[in-house]
Amino acid sequence: MKANIIESSKKRIVIVGGGFGGLQIARDLADSNYQIVLIDKNNYHQFQPLFYQVATAGLEPSTIAFPFRKIFQHKKNVHIRVAEVHKVNPEINQLETSIGVVDYHYLVIAIGADTNFFGNQKMMDLAYPMKSVSEALTLRNTLLQNYENAISETDREKRKGIMNVVVVGGGATGVEVSGTLAEMKKCILPKDFPELDFKQMQVYLLEGSPRVLNGFSDNASSKAHKYLEELGVNVFVNSRVKDYDGENVFLEGGKAIPAKTLVWAAGIAGNKIEGLKPEVIARANRIKVDRKNLVEGYQNIFAIGDIAYMTEANFQNGHPQVAQVAIQQAKNLSKNFKNLDANKALVDFSYKDLGSMATVGRNKAVADLPKWKFAGFFAWLIWMFIHLMSIVGGKNRLFAFINWAWSYITFDQSLRLIMKPKERKRI
């Protein structure tokens, strides 16, 4: 059965995934001579860099999500379909999806990446990832419910385990969520739960390498480490998790940390799509592409963003899996589609590194920009401005700004709600 999509005399570009890259291409080509079909399992775009703020009750999920149909309301050439993509059949230019078969002239794979548990089944079952709005909301519910449960726990040692949080992975996400949790412990949670002694609560950040923020400069890494310790985070570098049973985190070397909540931010791997040749799949499920983002061995299939594995002179092991790579690749590919339509030569992609930033807490951030490297309050202000302006939708930006301003002034916010979906009985 074919999916119900309006037939057109224009060539059809099917984009799988509405993340930073997929959304950018759809926007760039919305008024082009192509028919655009954007397929995503959700009906909204998610602003991934702020998932941790949803998880720690700093922002509501709706603030960092924006519906695709609202973005393309007046773009009749863009067709949105909410569906799961099961398989690509390159020989006949078709996608198998949950709503039927979708034909394409050109296919853009922008399915991004998901949490990489490195084959550890216990972590998959018991740890909390943060690669979607729903996962961030699940973590928020868990954290808040834990403190509700801790009030009723009479055993002191069990109460410690309920209150403790272990974060695995010292990249930007791990650093940001650890710092925010430490600030909640200091400024917010004691006001909500005066019956609990938050001196018992410990936040741990575990990193397997010798330092946090591995992709940053030495100065940024050392500053972030210092800021975390000032906030009271227990930072353990050269520390690898051996096992977890839902109650205790066991490290290599024998140390055990009691914790009911383990946040996994230790790595990512590309989302899988069936139907491509095995030889085009690189490490961590990334898809090998050339400098034009064309998948190796195919003439009309492209991949961009986290899922794409492209090498160039300064990136022999592939580009970093960050938003800027996806956006820049999308812009270059959009130009190449217009070049194709005009019978012009295609242009190679070259990544321009705009720098890296991470916030550690209130007035504390690190920034590695192409010409400057700095840390502290000014870096924090720049981080806030860049992230605020990157959120899709003026209303969402306003709400984010109001929440951040209120939190800054009052050392508090009012978003600590435990939202549990009700299970419906089906006959």
Two structure tokens written together for 243: 């096992």
3-state helix, strand, coil in the chain (%, to 5): 35, 25, 40
Return d(Cα 46, Cα 132) in angstroms, integer: 7
The catalytic residue among 176, 183, 229, 312 is 176
Those residues with Cβ within 8 angstroms of residue 304's Cβ, 6 or more apart along the chain or in another chain: 21, 22, 25, 108, 109, 110, 289, 293, 326, 329, 330, 333
How do beta strands 34-40 and 78-82 pair?
Answer: parallel
Which residues does residue 106 pair with via DSSP β-bridges, in sequence order? 13
Return d(Cα 421, Cα 3) in angstroms, integer: 30
Q: What are residue 119's phi and psi, to 5 degrees?
A: 80, 5
Return d(Cα 191, Cα 178) in angstroms, integer: 20
Please confirm, yes or no, whether 279 is among the known catalytic residues: no
Judge residue 353's burial from the number of C-beta atoms within 10 Å of its C-beta, 0-12 exposed, 13-18 middle, 19 or more buried: middle
Which residue type does 320 have?
Answer: P
Which one, of 113, 115, 116, 102, lies nearest residue 19 by Cα? Answer: 113
Which one, of 55, 214, 33, 217, lies nearest residue 134 by Cα? Answer: 55
Rg (CA), the chain: 23
Using the Cα atoms of residue 160, residue 162, residue 163 and residue 164 in order, give the sign of their dihedral: positive
Catalytic residue numbers? Answer: 176
